[in-house]
């Protein structure tokens, strides 16, 4: 590390042989790709704007370790993805012949938004917690007056977890 004042070297520090150990617990994803099959549904299932299919539960699994006694971290989750232009709380379908529906993600029964402004705290992970699970649900939602087309109806979301 070098410290400069007005362009001239004021001090130089050399660090070597240092091992850093996190003071707080650390976590890793058990799986970085989560598939959520939402099932097959006839277009007659969608009876008007806002009609939904049943919620399908899924979870983000974390494997945690380390940390000094009595320490904890707070995971904050942000979802991102391509959302519908008219209904920004619904993921747009990707590469699909189906139109008029999208996918929404729920947490504790509440629809989740997408983007940095819609992040939320997923809980608290204390030292000694080996596994932590973030429970979510997904479902199709009708977002246009009519639903048409057939075949697969897939959407893609990305989650980011920040720890504080």
pLDDT at residue number 11: 53
Distance CA 57, CA 48 (A): 24
Q: What are the 10-residue block averages of pLDDT along the chain, 164 residues in total? A: 48 65 87 94 94 97 93 95 96 94 97 95 95 97 95 95 92
pLDDT at residue number 2: 45
HEC per residue, the chain: CEEEECCEEEEECCCCCCCCCCCCCEEEECCCCCCCCCCCCCHHHCCCCCCECCCEEEEEEEEEECCCCCCEECEEEEEEECECCCCCCCECCCCCCCECEEEEEEECCEECCCCHHHCEECCCEECCCCEEEEEEEEEEEECCCCCECCCCCCCCEEEEEEEC
pLDDT at residue number 23: 84
pLDDT at residue number 20: 67
């Amino acid at each position: 590390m070098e410290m400069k004042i007005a362009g001239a070297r004021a001090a130089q520090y050399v660090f070597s042989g240092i091992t850093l150990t996190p003071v707080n617990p650390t976590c890793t994803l058990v799986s970085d790709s989560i598939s959520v099959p939402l099932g097959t549904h006839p277009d007659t299932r969608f009876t008007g704007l806002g009609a939904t299919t049943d919620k399908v539960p899924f979870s983000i699994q974390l494997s945690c370790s380390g940390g000094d006694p009595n320490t904890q971290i707070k995971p904050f989750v942000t979802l991102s993805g391509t959302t519908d232009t008219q209904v920004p709380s619904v993921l747009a379908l990707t590469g699909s012949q189906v139109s008029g529906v999208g996918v929404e993600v729920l947490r504790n029964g509440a629809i989740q938004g997408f983007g940095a402004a819609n992040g939320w705290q997923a809980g608290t992970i204390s030292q000694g917690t080996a596994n932590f699970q973030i429970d979510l649900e997904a479902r199709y939602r009708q977002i246009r007056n009519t639903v048409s087309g057939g075949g697969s109806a897939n959407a893609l979301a990305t989650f980011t977890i920040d720890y504080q």
